[in-house]
Amino acid sequence: MKKKIGSSLLIIVIVIQFFRIDKTNPEVTIANDFIEMTNPPEEITSMLKSSCYDCHSNESNYPWYSNVAPISWWVKDHIDEGRDELNFSEWGTFKAKRKDHKLEEAVEMLEEGEMPLNEYTWTHSEAKLTVEQKSVLVDWLKETRKAAKEKKKEKTLQLNDGEKWLSNPETTAGIERMIALINEEVKEDGILPYQLKGEALNAEMKIIFSKCTMHGEAHEQLHLFLIPLVKEFRQLEEAESKEEAIVQQENILSYLNKYATYFESE
């Protein structure tokens, strides 16, 4: 009898291995990432990456045991729940009220010792935070929340006391490539060439964010300039007619030409 039970359990364990979890991470839009938008100190970035991003972003790393069912199902469920509750990769899509609420919740979870989860730190020792680290992270989150409240509801793009902001050369080169893309003559008929331009512009945007070395207010002002372009590029990519695409292309070019009004290379 025990042999039969053991054999049955073994067969079940083997069979469930064929039910694999989806380990594909959603695409990351750098412009919407929490760390990219808040530009925290290196110490805070390290804590967020090691203790939060695995379950609360689109940058999850699946450990070896996520290949073994039913443990893999448990891991996937934790990641899905974590993203549903707070996804740092989508921070830029949150409204101000939701951002404030999520920062408040994060502080409460850390102060009450509920995050990071014990069952996560058991297998990820690097994610465990000391009392001092938690205190530093909590203080930074509180300051970030306070600063957000103190900012104007709609911060506007502006010069640096009448002078242009200094940007890294890679950013300026990226803007120039975007302008060149927009100015490329479309020789083919149909909407597809314009949609492909939208895709190419989005790719250039990712390069700019990945190579940006700006900090402080200059970094904030660059974000204010770039963020509207994310929507503009998407609209070009999703244009439904050539006429609509042409108008959208003109709008993008007009906006990109404003870069030289506010920024110059270091």
Q: How confident is the model at residue 189 (pLDDT cuts 50, 70, 90)?
A: confident
Between 65 and 107, the more confident residue is 107
Within-domain flag for 134 = yes
Within-domain flag for 159 = no
In this structure, what CATH number is given to the domain that contains residue 209?
1.20.120
Between 95 and 253, the more confident residue is 253
Within-domain flag for 157 = no
Residue 26: asked if its preceding bond is cis (omega within 30°), the reply is no
pLDDT digits (tens, 9 = 90+) for 26-78: 887 888 899 998 999 999 999 999 888 888 889 887 765 555 556 665 667 77
99 shares its domain with 221: no
pLDDT of residue 252: 94
CA 149, distance to chain mean position in Å, is 22
21 shares its domain with 75: yes
72 shares its domain with 193: no
106 shares its domain with 172: no
Within-domain flag for 80 = yes
Within-domain flag for 158 = no
Average pLDDT of span 152-173: 84
pLDDT of residue 133: 93
146 shares its domain with 176: no
Within-domain flag for 155 = no
Query: Cα–Cα distance between 106 and 99 in angstroms, integer?
Result: 11
Query: Cα–Cα distance between 227 and 24 in angstroms, integer?
Result: 26
171 shares its domain with 246: yes
Q: For the chain, how many structural domains are there in total? A: 2
Within-domain flag for 141 = yes
Q: Is 187 exposed, middle or buried (0-12, 13-18, 19+ CB in 10 A)?
A: exposed
pLDDT of residue 212: 86
pLDDT of residue 253: 93
60 shares its domain with 183: no
Within-domain flag for 106 = yes
Minimum mean pLDDT range among 9-23, 90-104, 194-208:
9-23
Q: Is 75 exposed, middle or buried (0-12, 13-18, 19+ CB in 10 A)?
A: buried
pLDDT digits (tens, 9 = 90+) for 113-131: 888 777 776 767 787 888 9
DSSP 8-state secondary structure symbol assigned to residue 263: E
102 shares its domain with 171: no
138 shares its domain with 211: no
Of 150, 174, 196, which residue constitutes the final position of a domain?
150
Query: Cα–Cα distance between 232 and 252 in angstroms, integer?
Result: 7
CA angle, corner 54, sides to 44 and 37, nearest 5? 45
139 shares its domain with 180: no
* Domain hosting residue 117, numbered range: 2-150
